[in-house]
Structure formats: structure tokens, C-alpha cells
Structure 1
């Protein structure tokens, strides 16, 4: 299974979600079975590392985002990934509009997996203060836990069909 997290420039929200998911999937024993990546709907940060504030906030909680590099969503992503998870409604609409026929079902709102936080959008912390990056981490941890709970039966089914 492969999951793509999507935000605007791929330097704050989506790489944070990728970093959280990568670590929690390993802790759940799914690191070899579920691949994760992140991308942006805009390409103006392609090749850049995540925002230093995102990296700093993530590192305080044990998530290393330093090796991640921004990229833009590509048409092939709709073929390669099982889920494309939008950080907000604008990203969701963009992905739905770009999705080829028969692939729109793969596009979902990331926060739809959250168990504790009740909101649709992960707010963009880029223009705010440090607390915004911590809030993004809180939301990502919540939604990633719910995502793992939801995909676990499917991953187990795939694992059993391979063995």
C-alpha cells in the first residue's frame, strides 16, 4: 500500500504528516508494507527541504524531516498511490479535479481519519508562529493513528494473499 500526503508547497503540512506516518508505521510493524510520500499542488518549492520551523517542531518530538525534499503532485501519482490525502479542502478539490476517471475515490481528506480533533482542514502554519507547527503535529499524530487503524485490515489482507 502507498499513501501520498498533499498540501500546497510540500514544505510544512504534508512533509510533517509523512514524517509522522513513516515513524508510526514502523512502530506498528507496517514500515515494510506501507509506503508514504508527500507532495504539493504547487511547484515553487521543488527540491527544497521542509521549512526549518517544521523540522524543528518535528525534531522536538522525534521526527526527522531533514531528508525530505519538496515535489509537486504528478499525474502518475494517481496510478502509483492507493490514497492521496489532502490537508485542506482546496487541496482536496485540486486533486479531485486532476484525478483521472476511475481514480477519484483515492482522494480523501487527511483529517477524516482523526479521532480526537474535529476539523476538516489542517491549517497552514507558514505565516504564523511556532505554536502553529506544534498544532499541525498534534493533528498529524491524531489522523495518522486513525489512518493506521483504518488501513490495518487491508494491509493484513494483502499480506496474507502474498504469503
Structure 2
């Protein structure tokens, strides 16, 4: 048994057991319930040009205002590939600009099979996209996969409607802002932030 113990040279300091435990818990975190690891959130819609980049921008703005941008990061993706490489829809950009929320540097991408393991939360805008994400993730994914409005109690709708078809970017913003606010509260509570 003593062969497993490290050899200690004279005048060398070694960490106490308490210091080692503290270091390891800080290094690797306790992921659920107070982690020092970056918490990663992925917002998903169909084409990644309207709803999910709006949610990413709104959520990032909330993180910045609450001082949590060094603990939580957000990204967005689409289940379809039609708009890959394009900036957010003009309706999304205009609305965010009016709200003084930046969407600079956001470009559409398609969700990949690596995303369910890379993100802690994958937040879909509607049931159809949540289903696609669950199919992609398979059984045993580490990510929490939910719809954004699942976080909003007594919401008049379960899905964020697609303004690409409805043109109602104001209503989408209202729902996205509510959902992002409640999601952030949930993450803060879960991770003791």
C-alpha cells in the first residue's frame, strides 16, 4: 500500500487533503449545484435566422447585465441547413437593434451530433425542433433538452411561433424575453449562481 504514496523530499511542501479536495472541486466543479465550469446553453429553431439567434442575443444581454457572462455562455443553431452562414433575419436584427441588444457576429449554423454532449442545455423554440434535437441526441445525452416556454408558468402558448412565416417579430421577442428570463432564473437556482 505504501508504494502508492508519493515520495516526499525534505523541505518540499505537499498539499493537505483538504487543499487537494478544494482544488479538485474547483478544477472539475460540481457541475450541477455550483460549478466553476462554464455552463453552455444552445438555442435551437428551424433555420437559425429568426428565433434562436434572437434568444441567443437576448440571453447574452441578460448574462452581461447580471454579470454572469464568465459563467454561462450561449450559442444557437438550426435543425435545417438552408441558411447556414447567413446573419439573422432583418426582422430579428431590426427588433434587437431597437431594444439595444447586439446580434453582431451571429451567423446561422446547423446543429451537429456533437452538440448534445457539448452543451448543458439545449433549448428548442417549439415541439418539432425539440423532437429533432432529442432524436439527434439519443439516449443518455448529458444535455437538458426542453422548449424555451416550458420555463414560463401559465404561458398562453407552448411554442414560440416562427416569425419567418407570421411576420410578428414583436410577439416572438415578448415570448423569447419571458422564456430567457425564466431559463436564467432556473439555471441560477440549479447551479447556485
Question: Within the alignment, does 1:44 sit opposite 2:82 as a pair?
Answer: yes
Corresponding residue of 1:145: 181
- What TM-score do you get using the length of structure 1 for normalisation? 0.89
Q: Give the Cα–Cα distance (whole angstroms) in 2 for the partners of residues 19 and 88 of structure 1.
A: 18
Unaligned stretches of 5+ residues in structure 2: 1-38
Alpha carbon RMSD of aligned pairs, Å? 1.5
Structure with more relative contact order (C-alpha pairs < 8 Å, separation 6 or more): 1
Unaligned stretches of 5+ residues in structure 1: 158-163
Q: Give the Cα–Cα distance (whole angstroms) in 2 for the partners of residues 12 and 110 of structure 1.
A: 14
- Measured after TM superposition, the shift of residue 154 of structure 1 is 3.2
Give the number of equivalent residue pairs: 155
Judged with a 3 Å threshold, the aligned counterparts in structure 2 of structure 1 residues 99 and 14 are, in CA distance, closer, same or farther, namely: same
Corresponding residue of 2:102: 64
CA displacement, residues 8-59 of structure 1 (integer Å, 9 cap, x when unaligned): 0000000000000000011112111001000000011000000011100111
- Measured after TM superposition, the shift of residue 67 of structure 1 is 1.6
Corresponding residue of 1:11: 49
Question: Within the alignment, does 1:125 sit opposite 2:151 as a pair?
Answer: no
Q: Give the Cα–Cα distance (whole angstroms) in 1 for the partners of residues 153 and 144 of structure 2.
A: 20
Q: Which one of the candidate residues 89, 92, 103 is aligned to 2:141? A: 103
- Measured after TM superposition, the shift of residue 78 of structure 1 is 0.6
Question: Within the alignment, does 1:35 sit opposite 2:73 as a pair?
Answer: yes
The alignment partner of 1:122 has SS state of coil
- Measured after TM superposition, the shift of residue 69 of structure 1 is 0.3
Contact 2:43 2:53 survives alignment (8 Å): yes
Q: Give the Cα–Cα distance (whole angstroms) in 2 for the partners of residues 20 and 83 of structure 1.
A: 16
- Measured after TM superposition, the shift of residue 90 of structure 1 is 0.3
Greater shift in the superposed pair: 118-127 or 97-106 = 97-106
Question: Within the alignment, does 1:154 sit opposite 2:162 as a pair?
Answer: no
The alignment partner of 1:5 has SS state of strand
CA displacement, residues 88-136 of structure 1 (integer Å, 9 cap, x when unaligned): 010011111111320176211111112463321000001233xx11111
Contact 2:87 2:108 survives alignment (8 Å): yes
CA displacement, residues 132-155 of structure 1 (integer Å, 9 cap, x when unaligned): 111111111101110111110333
Question: Of the two, which has the highest radius of gyration?
Answer: 2
